[in-house]
């Protein structure tokens, strides 16, 4: 009986320690947020190019901003980037780059930094 109590006590201590460590891990993870390096790596893996035929907010997909290119490719985009895009513009995102080039229908050229969500330069 006494050894059973010792085993139960040890199991409670182990379980409590595990739960406390798990809570600490989640708090630390949430406080640091997404790793910019991880986000940058994911962005660099993407590639797309084409003429924008539609721009919309996809309500079923958590209200994500998207564009549809002439080739049928449906591309999710950041809302800060979406304000620079219009139907009739062309976009070019090469694999390995962290930026996208926007060829505006009026001839303007915009290079947009996808990691920092801002215009790199405007010509």
Q: Which residue has the higher pLDDT, 7 or 10?
A: 10
pLDDT at position 48, please? 95
Q: Which domain holds residue 108?
A: 39-122
List of residues 6+ apart from 104 with CB closer than 8 A: 86, 89, 110
Assess whether 50 and 80 both reside in one domain.
Answer: yes
Domain total for the chain?
Answer: 2
pLDDT at position 123, please? 46
pLDDT digits (tens, 9 = 90+) for 22-74: 998 888 777 665 555 667 888 899 999 999 999 999 888 788 899 999 999 99
Assess whether 29 and 75 both reside in one domain.
Answer: no
pLDDT at position 25, please? 86
Radius of gyration of the chain (CA): 24
Assess whether 46 and 101 both reside in one domain.
Answer: yes
pLDDT at position 120, please? 85
- Looking at the chain, which runs of residues are DSSP E strands? 48-58, 64-69, 74-77, 90-93, 99-103, 109-113, 118-122
pLDDT digits (tens, 9 = 90+) for 80-108: 999 999 999 999 999 999 999 999 999 99
Assess whether 14 and 48 both reside in one domain.
Answer: no
| Tokens 């190019």 sit on residue | 49
pTM of the model: 0.66
| Tokens 């320690």 sit on residue | 17
Spatial CA neighbour of 81 closest among 67, 71, 70, 68 = 67
Assess whether 22 and 60 both reside in one domain.
Answer: no
Q: Which residue has the higher pLDDT, 12 or 38?
A: 12
On the question of pLDDT at 76 being above 70, the answer is: yes
Q: Residue 67: beta bridge partners?
A: 55, 75
End-to-end CA distance of the chain: 81
């Amino acid at each position: 009986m006494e050894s059973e109590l010792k085993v139960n006590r040890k199991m409670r201590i182990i379980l409590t320690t595990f739960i406390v460590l798990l809570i600490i891990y989640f708090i630390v993870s949430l406080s640091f947020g997404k790793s910019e390096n991880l986000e940058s790596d994911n962005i660099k893996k993407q590639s797309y190019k084409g003429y924008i035929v539609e721009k919309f907010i996809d309500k079923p997909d958590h209200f994500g901003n998207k564009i549809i290119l002439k080739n049928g490719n449906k591309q999710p985009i950041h809302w800060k980037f979406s304000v620079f895009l219009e139907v009739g513009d062309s976009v070019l995102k090469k694999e390995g780059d962290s930026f996208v080039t926007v060829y505006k229908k009026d001839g303007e050229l915009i290079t947009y930094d996808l990691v920092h969500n801002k215009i790199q330069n405007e010509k």
